[in-house]
Amino acid sequence: MKKLLLIITIFFISTNCFAQEGQNDDQTDSQKRLDKFNEAKKHEVSLDVVAAIAGLGINPRYEYVLGRYSGVGVDLNIGILDNEDKFDYYETFSITPYYRQYFFSKEDYGAKGFYGEGFVKVFSFEDGYFISDFNGGRNVTESYTEAAIGVGIGWKWVSDSGFLIDVGFGIGRNFGIADDRNETFDLPEVTGRGGVNFGWRF
């Protein structure tokens, strides 16, 4: 009797194992990719080390991996430089949401390698100028807000542990919002974007 129960138990265990293997084999490619995506690292945080070392600003970035070939993110720029008339105008803050399309990525949900991006940038800056008067004159600093739309390219390396390096640059066209407020300066028609980011994917 004990031998019969042992044989029946082994039979059911074996049947259950074969059934599970069959279910795994029956998974479609899309289901397997979805399972892999759910287990993958999809969040990235990084910092532009060039801007930080040069003392120009603190530029953190967040990106969310949408899939194998795409991601969305946002850059912040917080200016920390004391301008003191070193620049015609000095960017004090900006926020730049972007969408990226990755190319040549051989891994499911890799989101690394060469990429192209489109972005919208909203930024504020200060402009200083001198006003002459009967007392000799005075320096005036005013703040303005501008927006731009543009494109960029770059390359991202991501290690298996999640450490990443992102090198990119782009160019955008200003809308000219600030030019309508004051005629003491001519804001360039284009604005730049770029940096070398070190960070982590998790």
- pLDDT, tens digit (0-9, with 9 covering 90-100), for 105-159: 666 558 899 999 999 999 998 776 666 667 767 776 778 899 999 999 999 999 9
* Residue carrying structure tokens 């060469």: 114
H/E stretch holding 19: helix 2-25
Q: Is the pLDDT of residue 187 over 70?
A: yes
Measure CA of the first residue to CA of the last residue in the chain; give whole Å: 55
Contacts 24+ apart (CB under 8 A), 160-163: 162/41, 162/200, 162/201, 162/202, 163/198, 163/199, 163/200, 163/201
Choose among 143, 172, 148, 168: nearest CA to 156.
Answer: 168
pLDDT band at residue 53 using 50, 70 and 90 as cut-offs: very high
Q: Determine the Cα–Cα distance for residues 96 and 59; give it in Å rounded to an integer.
A: 11
- Computed over every residue of the chain, the mean pLDDT equals 80
Q: What is the pLDDT of residues 16-40, one digit of tens each?
A: 554 455 444 555 665 666 556 556 7
The pLDDT score that the predictor gives to residue 45 is: 98
Neighbours of 200 (CB within 10 A): 15
Mean pLDDT of 162-185: 83
Mean pLDDT of 190-202: 95
CATH architecture of 40-201: Beta Barrel (2.40)
The pLDDT score that the predictor gives to residue 181 is: 55
